[in-house]
């Protein structure tokens, strides 16, 4: 353990204890404990003395032991109607987590039978060999796949596609930078497209669902598609202008064949069925979390994925999300969210300004810390703000979308997202390239976010 | 969890040959620690001083015919050591002249992963090194990003894709 980690742990501990010793008269004891957990979690999530998913489960543990009806100190919490500890634990298997589990299982099957690679090959083919159109094809494939698979796994796969092109480019060809930036940025943007595209979406949808507001899979896609498409178009335009190719044609090697074993066929069928049911949710009204259980159950039944693949699913991401959701649950139960909201004189600002400000904060925060954490810290406050009547003038769905989408738009640093980290590690570009394009995309994204909020979302909800 | 320091060791008694190896491998110096030794004894003692919590030897290039301990015997001795520092280390024997018995020892007891004939082409050595380092990082499940710029990037990207060592967060 380094000194930096020790200091972070010390700071987190101080953060936990501080509300208990400060004279916060308007906050109940349960609220103070909750505020302590919130501060500690925020410090740990930002400084990362322990992995972010570990902080998430620590949050759950502390809430179970300090803020539940079964807690040893439950009697000392006064008026606080402590909920059963299972309320916190249930986030580990709520419908959004199952939705993600379904996405993970689909992705694991797709990787195992190379469905994702073969799909990318098919989609890329019509884009030919001209640099501009190849770049467009690469970005479209990346965005589309990252809407259904993890942004990181998609980036890794697509980097393997562009590396040979970059290696074949003549020395000093700036188009290499365009290639190396297009993949992670398209993946970051593509993650916005569906509820399972990236974890911040789950935090937002869960916050809505827990308030009894439905967010069908296809509706989310409809709300975010205009922003995703125009964001990609802007990115493409910026990249070909800033880093044009010196060549007229590029060698794009796309070999491979769809596997035709019975298991592979079963995978294709179940994969297609699941995605089809997701995107048509509005027509049949079978909830997406329920549909997600189809691959979770049928893949092992047909032996499409086995013990090895099940064990290597990214379970820690589910822990990360569940812990964040549990924190949101507690903040509502203890009244901490309301108390935090009341700290700020919101009345001095117009609702539109508040909404716009949360978008900025989400993008900035997500640039420096994990996107899921940014969403986790902001969404409970944002939701409470809307619920308290201060946010009259914009819908709660608009608020949730604003923060979740904003959390995917912070991408100007290598540490901003795992896809960025992969791209920078190739050495094809340096962080100043990433910063330059990332800031522009952040600004363009923000404008698109405001446009979506005021011109689309606010009119629908 | 800091990233381990990955070492490339070169053991060669002839100074001009050692210099040539170190020069040919210098492109890796930005990412890996490159160390040269003129005898097996010197290298063996130096390895003892490494920090098991922070250091890993990814690759050893060792000459076979040396005064004192010969390459195969030194590699066999390292193979028997149970140090974390040497876990999964890829051992390459430089030789123009290893006999039948020595080849058997090299495979059965010394865990040699590659024979490299002398003399070598510099490009060939760089490519071999890149391949072996990539093998090491993948086989030992070392987080590859800090080293990726000097590895076989396509293989690392495919490895990341298939094994999901890290994820959206």
Decide if pLDDT at B44 tops 90. Answer: yes
CATH fold, domain B5-163, is: Rossmann fold (3.40.50)
With contacts defined as CB-CB under 8 Å, which chain B residues touch A321?
none
**What's the token pair of residue A191?**
């993650």
The verdict on a CB contact (< 8 Å) between B168 and A156 is no
Average pLDDT, chain A: 93
How far is it, in rounded angstroms, from Cα A456 to Cα A223?
Answer: 8
List the beta bridge partners of residue B115.
B93
With contacts defined as CB-CB under 8 Å, which chain B residues touch A370?
169
Task: For A373, name the nearest residue in chain B, comparing CA atoms only.
Answer: B169
Q: For residue A120, tell me if it sits in a domain.
A: yes
Decide if pLDDT at A391 tops 70. Answer: no
Closest-CA residue to B15 (of B7, B23, B4): B23
How far is it, in rounded angstroms, from Cα A14 to Cα A44?
Answer: 12
Q: Are A84 and A69 in contact (CB under 8 A)?
A: yes
What was the pLDDT predicted at B94?
86
Give the distance, in angstroms, between the CA of residue A303 and the centroid of all CA atoms in the same chain.
30
The verdict on a CB contact (< 8 Å) between B161 and A52 is no
Decide if pLDDT at A70 tops 80. Answer: yes
With contacts defined as CB-CB under 8 Å, which chain B residues touch A46?
none
Q: Are A143 and A192 in contact (CB under 8 A)?
A: no
The verdict on a CB contact (< 8 Å) between B169 and A317 is yes
DSSP string spanning A213-280? ----HHHHHHHHHHHHHHHHHHHHHHHHHHS--S-S------------SHHHHHHHHHHHHHHHHHHT
- In whole angstroms, how far apart are CA A197 and each of A123, A148, A151? 19, 5, 7
The verdict on a CB contact (< 8 Å) between B145 and A150 is no
Closest-CA residue to B58 (of B108, B6, B125): B6
Model confidence over A161-205: pLDDT tens digits? 999 999 888 888 999 999 999 999 999 999 999 999 999 999 999
How far is it, in rounded angstroms, from Cα A10 to Cα A62?
Answer: 17
Closest-CA residue to A252 (of A142, A149, A126): A126
Average pLDDT, chain B: 90
CB within 8 A of A414, min separation 6: which ones?
Answer: A420, A421, A423, A424, A431, A434
What was the pLDDT predicted at B7?
97
What was the pLDDT predicted at A65?
95
Q: Which of A111, A150, A425 sits opposite B168 (nearest CB)?
A: A150
Q: Are A64 and A85 in contact (CB under 8 A)?
A: yes
Model confidence over A195-232: pLDDT tens digits? 999 999 999 999 999 999 999 999 999 999 999 999 99
How far is it, in rounded angstroms, from Cα B63 to Cα B40?
Answer: 9
What was the pLDDT predicted at B1?
52
Question: How many domains are there within chain A?
Answer: 1
How far is it, in rounded angstroms, from Cα A446 to Cα A408?
Answer: 11
Q: For residue A212, tell me if it sits in a domain.
A: no
What was the pLDDT predicted at A389?
73
Q: Chain B: nearest CA to A216, how far in angstroms?
A: 22
- Please report where in the chains the tokens 């010390």 appear, as a residue: A10
What was the pLDDT predicted at A49?
94
How far is it, in rounded angstroms, from Cα B56 to Cα B7?
Answer: 6
Q: Which of B153, B160, B169 sits opposite A370 (nearest CB)?
A: B169
Model confidence over A94-109: pLDDT tens digits? 999 999 999 999 999 9
Q: Which of B145, B158, B164 sits opposite A422 (nearest CB)?
A: B145
Q: Are A420 and A184 in contact (CB under 8 A)?
A: yes
How far is it, in rounded angstroms, from Cα A408 to Cα A398?
Answer: 16
Enumerate the domain spans of chain B. Answer: 5-163
Within a 10 A sphere around the Cβ of B73, how many other Cβ atoms? 17
Task: For A422, name the nearest residue in chain B, comparing CA atoms only.
Answer: B145
How far is it, in rounded angstroms, from Cα A371 to Cα A75?
Answer: 37
The verdict on a CB contact (< 8 Å) between A422 and B146 is no
Dmax over Cα atoms in chain A, in whole Å? 75
Q: Which of A314, A422, A427 sits opposite B164 (nearest CB)?
A: A314
Whether residue B130 lies within 8 A of chain A, CB to CB, comes out as no
Whether residue B169 lies within 8 A of chain A, CB to CB, comes out as yes
Task: For A162, name the nearest residue in chain B, comparing CA atoms only.
Answer: B154
The verdict on a CB contact (< 8 Å) between B160 and A153 is yes
How far is it, in rounded angstroms, from Cα B88 to Cα A411?
Answer: 36
Angle between helices A315-333 and A199-209 (to 10 degrees): 40
Q: Which helix (H) or strand (E) holds A152?
A: helix A151-168
Q: Which of A191, A371, A425 sits opposite B148 (nearest CB)?
A: A425
Q: For residue A350, tell me if it sits in a domain.
A: no
Domain that residue A158 falls in: 95-197+217-311
Decide if pLDDT at A156 tops 70. Answer: yes
Q: For residue A206, tell me if it sits in a domain.
A: no
Model confidence over A118-130: pLDDT tens digits? 999 999 999 988 9
**What's the token pair of residue A193?**
């497209």
Taking residues A388-393, report their average pLDDT: 72
**B99 band by pLDDT with thresholds 50, 70 and 90:** confident
How far is it, in rounded angstroms, from Cα B1 to Cα A454?
Answer: 44
What was the pLDDT predicted at A201?
96
The verdict on a CB contact (< 8 Å) between B169 and A373 is yes
DSSP string spanning B84-123? GGGTT-EEEEE-S---HHHHHHHHHTS-EEEEE-SS--HH
Highest mean pLDDT among A163-172, A205-214, A245-254, A389-398: A205-214
- Please report where in the chains the tokens 């439950």 appear, as a residue: A74
What was the pLDDT predicted at A81?
87
Q: Chain B: nearest CA to A283, how far in angstroms?
A: 31
How far is it, in rounded angstroms, from Cα A168 to Cα B138?
Answer: 25
What was the pLDDT predicted at A218?
93
The verdict on a CB contact (< 8 Å) between A152 and B160 is yes
Q: Which of A312, A320, A426 sits opposite B164 (nearest CB)?
A: A312
How far is it, in rounded angstroms, from Cα A276 to Cα A261?
Answer: 22
Chain A: residues touching B (Cβ < 8 Å): 2, 52-53, 111, 150-153, 156-157, 159-160, 163-164, 191, 198-199, 312, 314, 316-317, 320, 370-373, 417-418, 421-422, 425-427
How far is it, in rounded angstroms, from Cα A188 to Cα A146?
Answer: 8
| Percent of chain A whose predicted confidence (pLDDT) is above 70 | 99
Name the more confident of A447 and A253.
Answer: A447
How far is it, in rounded angstroms, from Cα B159 to Cα A245?
Answer: 29
What was the pLDDT predicted at A159?
95
The verdict on a CB contact (< 8 Å) between A52 and B146 is no
- In what order do the strands lie in the sheet containing B90-94? B33-37, B5-11, B55-63, B90-94, B112-116
What was the pLDDT predicted at A146?
95
Q: For residue A243, tell me if it sits in a domain.
A: yes
Taking residues B112-132, report their average pLDDT: 91
Q: Chain A: nearest CA to B159, how far in angstroms?
A: 8
- Please report where in the chains the tokens 């308030």 appear, as a residue: A211
Q: For residue A371, tell me if it sits in a domain.
A: no
């Amino acid at each position: 353990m380094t000194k930096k980690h020790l200091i972070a742990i010390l700071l987190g501990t101080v953060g936990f204890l501080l509300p208990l010793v400060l004279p916060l008269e308007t906050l109940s004891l349960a609220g103070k404990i909750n505020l302590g957990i919130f501060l500690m979690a925020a410090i740990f999530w930002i400084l990362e003395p322990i992995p972010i998913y570990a902080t998430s489960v620590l949050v759950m543990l502390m809430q179970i032991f300090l803020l539940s009806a079964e807690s040893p100190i439950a009697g000392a919490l006064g008026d606080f109607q402590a909920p059963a500890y299972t309320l916190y634990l249930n986030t580990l298997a709520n419908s959004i987590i199952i939705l993600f589990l379904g996405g993970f299982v689909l992705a694991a099957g797709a990787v195992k039978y190379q469905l994702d690679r073969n799909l990318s090959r098919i989609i890329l083919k019509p884009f030919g060999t001209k640099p501009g159109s190849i770049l467009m094809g690469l970005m479209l494939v990346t965005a589309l796949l990252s809407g259904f698979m993890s942004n990181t796994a998609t980036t890794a796969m697509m980097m393997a596609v562009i590396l040979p092109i970059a290696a074949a480019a003549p020395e000093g060809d700036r188009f290499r930078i365009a290639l190396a930036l297009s993949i992670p940025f398209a993946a970051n943007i593509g993650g916005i497209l569906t509820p399972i595209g990236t974890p911040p979406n789950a935090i937002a949808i869960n916050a809505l669902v827990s308030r009894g507001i439905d967010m069908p899979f296809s509706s989310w896609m409809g709300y975010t598609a205009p922003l995703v498409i125009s964001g990609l178009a802007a990115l493409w335009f910026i990249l070909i202008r800033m880093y044009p190719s010196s060549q007229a044609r590029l060698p794009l090697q796309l070999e491979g064949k769809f596997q035709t074993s019975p298991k592979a066929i079963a995978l294709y069928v179940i994969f297609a069925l699941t995605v089809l049911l997701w995107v048509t949710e509005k027509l049949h009204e079978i909830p997406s979390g329920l549909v997600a259980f189809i691959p979770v159950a049928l893949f092992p039944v047909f032996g499409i994925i086995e013990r090895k693949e099940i064990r290597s699913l990214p379970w820690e991401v589910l822990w990360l999300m569940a812990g964040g959701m549990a924190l949101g649950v507690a903040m509502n139960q203890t009244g901490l969210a309301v108390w935090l909201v009341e700290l700020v004189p919101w009345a001095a600002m117009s609702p539109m300004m508040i909404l716009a400000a949360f978008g900025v904060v989400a993008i900035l925060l997500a640039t420096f810390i994990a996107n899921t954490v940014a969403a986790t810290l902001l969404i409970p406050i944002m939701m409470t703000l809307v619920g308290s009547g201060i946010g009259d003038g914009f819908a709660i769905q608009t608020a949730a979308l604003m923060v979740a989408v904003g959390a995917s738009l912070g991408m100007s640093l290598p540490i901003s997202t795992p896809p960025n980290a992969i791209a920078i590690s190739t050495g094809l570009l340096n962080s100043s390239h990433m910063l330059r394009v990332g800031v522009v995309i952040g600004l363009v994204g923000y404008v698109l976010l405001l446009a979506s909020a005021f011109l689309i979302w606010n009119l629908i909800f | 969890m800091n990233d381990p320091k990955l070492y490339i060791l070169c053991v060669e008694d002839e100074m001009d040959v050692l210099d040539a190896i170190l020069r040919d491998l210098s492109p890796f110096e930005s990412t890996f620690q490159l160390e040269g030794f003129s005898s097996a004894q010197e290298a063996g003692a130096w390895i003892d001083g490494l920090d098991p919590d922070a250091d890993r030897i990814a690759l050893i290039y060792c000459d076979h015919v040396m005064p004192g301990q010969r390459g195969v015997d030194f590699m066999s001795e390292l193979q028997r050591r149970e140090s974390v520092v040497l876990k999964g280390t890829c051992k390459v024997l430089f030789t123009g002249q290893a006999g039948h018995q020595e080849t058997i020892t090299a495979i059965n007891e010394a865990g040699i992963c590659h024979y490299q004939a002398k003399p070598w082409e510099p490009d060939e050595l760089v490519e071999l090194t890149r391949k072996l380092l990539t093998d090491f990082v993948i086989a030992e499940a070392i987080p590859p990003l800090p080293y990726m710029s000097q590895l076989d990037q396509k293989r690392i990207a495919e490895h990341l894709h298939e094994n999901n060592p890290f994820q959206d967060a």
